[in-house]
Amino acid sequence: MISNIFSTTVLVGILASGIRLATPYLYAAIGETFGQRSGVLNLGVDGQMLLGAFAAFYVALTTGNLWLGLLAAAMVGAVMGLAMAFVTVNLHAQQGISGIGFYLFGLGMSDLLFKMLLGTVETVKGFTKIHIPYLSDIPIIGEIFFSQNAMVYGAFALVPISWFVLNKTTLGLKIRAVGENPEAADSLGVSVARIRYFTIILGGTLSGLAGASLSIALLNVFQQNMTSGLGFIAVALVYFGAWRPWGVLWGALLFSMVNSLQLWMQVLSIPIPSDIAVMLPYVLTILVLVATVSRVRAPAALTKPFERGR
Amino acid sequence: MERIVQKEWFSKLIDGLLPVLATLAALAVGTVMLMILRVNPVEAYSALWDGAFGSTNALAETLVKATPLLLVALGICIAFRGNVINIGGEGQMIIGAIAATLVGLTFTNLPGWLVIVIAMVVGFLGGAVWGGIPGVLKAYFRVNEILSTVMMNAIAVQLMNFLLRGPLIDPAQAELDSKIPQTARLLDAFRLPRLAPTRLHFGFVIALALAILVYILLWRTTMGYRIRAVGQNPHASRYAGINVKKRIATALLLSGAFAGLAGAIQVYGVNYRMITDGSASGFTGSAGFNGIVAALFGQLHPIGAIPASIFFGALLVGANKMQRVVQIPSALITALNGLVVVFVVSSEFWRQRRQHRRLSAAEGEDQQSSAIPSTVEEQA
């Protein structure tokens, strides 16, 4: 049975589903990267994901249109982000704790709506695989990278796009300035509040999409607390990736590949306790944090509210 | 001078009322939500009240639910006073529970009371280890404690699942096909005493006593003073000769220890075994998070945490009754808890603004009496 794991089909299967499972991590963690680069820690990602997952699922189920589902998830996430922005930017609420509040709200609210509006676990026909012409015909690589659904492609496209926005555009410069030295940015005429509103709402939107990727692209069901803490891991991935989109990508792949391996081990009923395997990326994340903390510096204004004239 | 004193008394009252106002605001949002869901809010809230306080049994259940909340909240008071954020209560409860369960499953020959005492201490220590690791990582390696506690939560859940499916599985279950992931039942002699016929157990008394102890620790001992000083101003504390790193690690370690004890008490007072549905909340009932809510609501004061925990315990117990009577899923209460947290931390804005104003007013009237001590020194 052990030898099964080394066959090409299985290896390709593990890698392909590993790529697929990176999707929710990427949406959520890239969104969180924008927030943190501007100095705001959003710990409510998991709650935003849960509400997004439900909104996408419900709309897709009732209208039969997956794209409307995505839109609903994005809007729900954006509204959650707007609320978070008001509380952190205008009311200077402590970010770590208000994030927990938003998490609990999303956790309870998504469950409440699920039980009131659906009641039973149903399934939708989610996004189907798009085989990219020619590229998907390449043996092995084609199946791993070029036979995925639209949301997976979107997630991976986000990495270079967000890198470009953060590092090569004026907007990115403003975001980084607000996160590093809001006083200086303010004195140069950059509105700290407006930038932070933008990044937190963007983060919420992407978290909503992250939830949608679970409920209408990967698992195609909605269940109570279906993220089981994935949003918190996404926050950690931002630190893991040293606030850079490419770093986030590697962290996301680490978690998703281990998850995929564990799922396949169950499928092949390999008698290795999979709980232990699942533990590894968490331990590794802590070790990476210990190893990199002296070399990598967080945005200087992270978690610090900005007030003019203080 | 007298006018300021009077004002201060009044301001303190308003400060104390802020969490209550925040809760009322959350309940108001809940009312709107109920009305949207076409449920009579009066009916819903009276079912909630009835479920939480309507009978001796209901009251007992409320106190049973309040027990882990209070213990976690006590730890949160210590951590937040030291300006470290502990969101690892879930994992610390699990590790405390595992450690305590191991004691009960191993020492089956010892007298009941002795096993209970050892189990509580071991549970406390288990939580201390799980909180201490992020504490040391924060103090000496500058690893963000929010992240490390989240990671430690996930590791604890996997460890629990592994142990309960494998080495610690109930021998009876191991032979069955169902293989429910649970440990064997503890011996009857190892159960915490109960106030029959209700399920109220001795753990609640332990939690109350510890609330007073934590108050003494924070406000009547040097260690507590140092933790609070570091929390308020680490730089000044360093100049005053306080070992800041040690205090940060201690605050998280103690915080974890109380959560660990909460886990141990859940096993010895309520379930008499560990059972997992694969998630953390399956065992903890999210007490690791809700304890934060209770601590904030009690204004991070150990004595304030007592009524706060009872209040949130009541909400959780009452929610079940509300679910039965008006068919509103109890998840509503989780959502409202979240809103309470958001509103409480937001209301801090007004408290600080008023405090700021008060200080500048006081400075204007009396230049000598600055409310901020110029140096941080021992103030008995």
CB contact under 8 A, B158 and A41: no
CA distance A272 to A90: 51
Q: Is B159 on the interface with A (CB under 8 A)?
A: yes
- Is B327 a member of any domain? no
Q: Is B296 on the interface with A (CB under 8 A)?
A: yes
- pLDDT band (50, 70, 90) for residue A12: confident
Asked if the bond preceding B171 is cis, omega within 30° of 0, the reply is no
B347 token code pair: 């209301």
Q: Is the pLDDT assigned to residue B132 strictly greater than 90? A: yes
**Least confident residue range of A290-304, B74-88, B104-118:** A290-304
Of B380, B372, B366, B260, give the one whose Cα is nearest residue B4: B366
- Is B348 a member of any domain? no
Query: Is residue B112 within 8 Å of residue B272, measured between CB atoms?
Result: no
CB contact under 8 A, B331 and A235: no
- Is A199 a member of any domain? yes
- Is B19 a member of any domain? no
CB contact under 8 A, B331 and A108: yes
Please give the residue range of the domain that contains residue B212: 68-299
- pLDDT band (50, 70, 90) for residue B248: very high
User: Among A102, A116, A290, whose Cβ lies nearest the Cβ of B342?
Assistant: A102
The mean per-residue pLDDT over the stretch B67-89 comes to 94
CB contact under 8 A, B147 and A109: no
- Is A305 a member of any domain? no
* Cα angle: B119, vertex B120, B125; to 5 degrees: 95
- Is B33 a member of any domain? no
Size of interface A-B (CB pairs under 8 A): 151
Higher pLDDT, B12 or B98: B98
- Is B150 a member of any domain? yes
Q: Is the pLDDT assigned to residue B59 strictly greater than 60? A: yes
**Least confident residue range of A66-80, A139-153, A275-289, B34-48:** A275-289
Q: Is the pLDDT assigned to residue B265 strictly greater than 80? A: yes
Q: Is B25 on the interface with A (CB under 8 A)?
A: no
CA distance B28 to B23: 8
User: Among B37, B154, B342, whose Cβ lies nearest the Cβ of A101?
Assistant: B342
Q: Kindly state the helix (H) or strand (E) to which residue A131 belongs, with its residue range.
A: strand A129-131
- Is A309 a member of any domain? no
Q: Is A102 on the interface with B (CB under 8 A)?
A: yes
CB contact under 8 A, A289 and B279: no
The mean per-residue pLDDT over the stretch A261-276 comes to 75
pLDDT more than 70, % of chain B: 93
User: Among A107, A278, A298, whose Cβ lies nearest the Cβ of B334?
Assistant: A107
Residues B287-327 have pLDDT tens digits of 998 998 899 888 889 999 999 999 999 999 999 899 899 88
Q: Is the pLDDT assigned to residue A290 strictly greater than 50? A: yes
Q: Is A302 on the interface with B (CB under 8 A)?
A: no
CB contact under 8 A, B143 and A290: yes
Higher pLDDT, B153 or A294: B153
CA distance B313 to A286: 34
Higher pLDDT, A271 or A23: A23
Q: Say what the pLDDT of residue B304 is.
A: 93
pLDDT more than 90, % of chain B: 50
The values of phi and psi at residue B139, to 5°, are -70, -45
The values of phi and psi at residue A129, to 5°, are -65, 140
- Chain A contact set for B85 (CB, 8 A): 96-97
The mean per-residue pLDDT over the stretch A222-240 comes to 88
- Is B36 a member of any domain? no
Domain at A49, CATH number = 1.10.3470
Q: Say what the pLDDT of residue B368 is.
A: 43
- Is B103 a member of any domain? yes
Beta carbons within 8 Å of A219's beta carbon, 6+ residues apart? A126, A226
Best residue of B98, B147, B340, B354 to probe chain A, by most A CBs closer than 10 Å: B147
- Is A70 a member of any domain? yes
Please give the residue range of the domain that contains residue A71: 2-292
CA distance A147 to B141: 43
- Is A299 a member of any domain? no
CB contact under 8 A, B342 and A116: no
- pLDDT band (50, 70, 90) for residue A310: low
- Is A297 a member of any domain? no
Of B132, B180, B130, give the one whose Cα is nearest residue B155: B130
Higher pLDDT, A190 or A279: A190
Higher pLDDT, B303 or B10: B303
Question: Phi/psi zone of residue B278: left (φ > 0), alpha (ψ -120 to 50 degrees), beta?
Answer: left
- Chain A contact set for B162 (CB, 8 A): 273, 275-276, 279
Best residue of B153, B328, B345 to probe chain A, by most A CBs closer than 10 Å: B345
**Least confident residue range of A80-94, A266-280, B274-288:** A266-280
Burial (CB count <10 Å: 0-12, 13-18, 19+), residue B289: buried
Q: Is B83 on the interface with A (CB under 8 A)?
A: no
- Is A310 a member of any domain? no
**Cα torsion at A57, A59, A65, A70 (round to 10°)?**
-70
The mean per-residue pLDDT over the stretch A196-218 comes to 96
This model of the complex carries an ipTM of 0.86
The mean per-residue pLDDT over the stretch A75-85 comes to 96
The mean per-residue pLDDT over the stretch A56-81 comes to 96
CA distance B157 to B258: 18
In chain A, the number of structural domains is: 1
Give chain B's radius of gyration (CA, Å): 22
Q: Say what the pLDDT of residue A245 is.
A: 95
| Sign, Cα dihedral of B371, B375, B376, B380 | negative
Burial (CB count <10 Å: 0-12, 13-18, 19+), residue A168: exposed
In chain B, the number of structural domains is: 1
CB contact under 8 A, A100 and B289: yes
Q: Say what the pLDDT of residue B361 is.
A: 72
Q: Say what the pLDDT of residue A94 is.
A: 82
Residues B338-380 have pLDDT tens digits of 998 898 888 878 777 777 777 777 666 544 433 333 333 333 2
pLDDT more than 70, % of chain A: 96
- Is B331 a member of any domain? no
Residue type, position B97, single letter = A
